[in-house]
Amino acid sequence: MEPVLVIGAGLAGSEAAWQLANRGIPVRLHEMKPNKMTPAHHSADFGELVCSNSLRSDQMENAVGLLKEELRRCNSLIMACADEHRVEAGGALAVDRHAFSAAITEKIKSHPNITVVEGEVLDIPEEGRVIVASGPLTAEPLAEAIGRRYPQNGYLHFFDAAAPLVTFESVDMDSAWFASRYDRGTPDYINCPMTEEEYDAFWKELTTAQEAEVHGFEDSGVFEGCMPVEVMARRGRDTLCYGPLKPVGLKDPKTGKEPFAVVQLRKDNAQGSIYNIVGFQTHLKWPEQRRVFSMIPALKNAEFVRYGVMHRNTFLDSPRLLDRYYRVRTEPRVRFAGQITGVEGYVESTASGCLAAMELARELEGKEPINFPRETAMGALALYISDESVVHFQPMNINFGLIPALGYRVKGKRNKNAELSKRALEALDGLDLT
């Protein structure tokens, strides 16, 4: 069998190589380190964690905790190394980052079905099976080559400027209403009104809230195309009221009048379970986003499934490019995995590499696809990045908003999430994962 080419030995690439190799499929794993390093990387080891050493919650009431357990049941290399080298972090799974990466490297390099090739890959080869897992800091030559190869897909976003997302069920609809401006078309937006007093308090906190640090591998270009909402607010007390919070054409059905200011939420997925806070791209620290944006009355109890971010992040317009198996729709011999697909986070990157490789192995063995269902975290993530109804695509962490509701009431959020996890694992256990 011709070896599968895997480009990149980060979390996604290492996981993909491992899954294929364990099924007897030869792999040629290309990694440009240590010959060429990005400004964010410092080690020659595989699966290097460049930011936090935490893989986030390990609790089953949290979606990322569910995703970890699904990966464990798929014989994940990354999860096995993380569990072996975990350090105390309360309910989170944190690791000794150096021992963790060293263990991944040793496992990969010692596997008889994996050949590691050092050096940069400049283009996707014209033949053979390929998984591109080059990460959010994909080197410019390869990034440009991918852009040329798939120009119809609006390929590369070099700076990720995304507004926060909240779950629909956490929005206080007693304080909000559905409508479109001037009642034109269908009532697609959730409108969250603010009185002048509420707006003034919100505006004051927004102008003084703490911003996140800018990393050394980023520059001011991140802010050129999309002004952060806090920067807009600092330009004057009324600036937002003429911008994203303008109330014109939006009459509150309770009063019959236009509010002083209106924050609009736009549906972010076809199911309507997640909504985007329109115009709220931001560089604030995440706790500050929760504190300040929860001052909007309808969002006082909002569940944030993704905070706003503005940072260097190379990713695909995946809904137009990829299917649920992370395959290129127009060139299915090529798959992508990791953060370049628009999954956000260490565990999510691992999951994409795992699923892409498992489905590729099934294909090479002449078996039917596994088709991870939406009820599982792995399936929900794959179906999100390939959902063509997602028009304004932005990177996403796993969250329960991507997973179908239970269909029956469960008292308490933790209990409900635990039931969602239980259902997911039962669905996973019913699949043929060999």
Using DSSP's 3-state secondary structure scheme, residue 256 falls into coil
Closest CA to 47 of 85, 91, 89, 87: 85
Q: Which residues pair with 284 in a beta bridge?
A: 211
* DSSP states of 219-254: -GGGGTSS--HHHHHHT-TTTGGGTTT--TT--BTT
DSSP letter (8 states) at residue 113: T
Residue 375: pLDDT over 90: yes
pTM: 0.74
Contacts of 318 (CB under 8 A, 6+ apart): 336, 341, 342, 385, 386, 393
| Domains of the chain and CATH, by start | 4-156+316-429 (3.50.50.60), 165-311 (no CATH)
**Among 11-15, 66-70, 129-133, 222-226, whose mean pLDDT is lowest?**
222-226
The strand pair at 130-132 and 4-7 is best described as: parallel
State pLDDT tens for residues 210-222.
988 765 444 444 4
pLDDT bin (cut points 50, 70, 90) of residue 383 is very high
State pLDDT tens for residues 142-198.
988 998 898 865 555 555 567 899 999 999 999 999 998 888 777 888 999 999 999
